[in-house]
Amino acid sequence: MSILTGHFTLEASLAVAEEEGIGQADVTEAMGRLVNKSLIGSRMESGGNSYRLLDTTRTYAFEKLISSGEHDTIAARHANFVVALLEANSGNLFDVGASKGVASSIREYLGDVRSALDWSFGVRGSDGIAIRLAAAGAQLFLSMSLLLECRNWMLRAIDRMRDDCEPRHQMEIHASLALSLMFAEGNSEKVRDAFNAALAIAERHGDA
């Protein structure tokens, strides 16, 4: 669970820790023991309990994860969990009001989004996860006014994009680049080009 950077739910811990031979009951029991030993902090929220590894515990455990040789496997599970979380909380990219709601519901996972992007775009990551994650994470960055960060991730995604990438992801990445440039720098040819790239993909695939 040291792969999780901030507060997380039991669902998040299951997503990264559950595997063959380690079931839901095992993870839940281990969580309980760690909470009882004050190695994991717990807090009650309207949506249920959330947890957080104490910083010193997380640092030690993360070093153990790296040395175990299992980091990439766990990092891939973590990235897939983050993608699923973002996609489940997505809205209309151009609806500013809805975007603010998206930001408040998953703001706690911003650190996880960043670390998942870092791994996905890294040398041991996955282009497929990286593109999907960039498309899913753009709305969070935009809704939190993290415009330069959004622009940088979208540019990296475009550099890694292939023709066989999911058209919807391509559209969202190009449109998010256009929005981040427009809000950060004002209207320009770069904004027009990015919007036109998204529009061309939409027209090619008949996506209204």
Q: Residue 51 in contact with residue 31, Cβ under 8 Å?
A: yes
What is the value of pTM for the model shown?
0.88
Query: Are 162 and 111 in the same domain?
Result: yes
Domain identity same for 47 and 101 = no
Sign of the dihedral through C-alpha 86, 89, 91, 93: negative
Among 51, 69, 87, residue at a domain's last position: 69
Cβ–Cβ under 8 Å, residues 178 and 195:
yes
* pLDDT value of position 154: 97
153-190: burial string, b at 16+ Cβ within 10 Å, e else = bbebbbeebeeebeeebbbbbbbbbbbbbbeeeeeeee
> How many whole angstroms separate alpha carbon 20 and alpha carbon 66?
20
Q: Give the per-residue pLDDT at 164.
A: 85
How many independent structural domains does the chain possess? 2
Tens-digit pLDDT profile for residues 99-112: 566 666 688 899 99
Say whether both 113 and 176 belong to one domain. Answer: yes
Which residue stretches of the chain have pLDDT < 70?
47, 95-105
Chosen domain end from 50, 69, 88: 69
105 and 162, same domain (yes or no): yes
- CATH number of the domain to which 28 belongs: 1.10.10.10
Helix (H), strand (E) at residue 43: strand 40-45
CATH of residue 121:
1.25.40
Structural domain span for residue 105 = 70-208
Question: Are 27 and 17 a contacting pair, CB within 8 Å?
Answer: yes
Which alpha helices (DSSP H) does the chain contain, by range? 10-17, 24-36, 55-68, 71-88, 96-106, 110-121, 127-143, 147-160, 167-185, 189-204
Does 27 share its domain with 46? yes
Report pLDDT for 6: 86
Q: How much is the pLDDT for 90?
A: 81
| pLDDT at residue 162 in the model | 87
Both 123 and 188 in one domain: the answer is yes
Let me know whether 85 and 47 are in one domain: no
User: Each residue of 81-94: pLDDT tens digit?
Assistant: 999 999 988 877 77
| Residue 22 DSSP label | B
Residue 43, beta-bridge partner list? 50
**Are residue 194 and residue 133 in the same domain, yes or no?**
yes
Of 54, 69, 84, the residue at which a domain comes to its end is 69
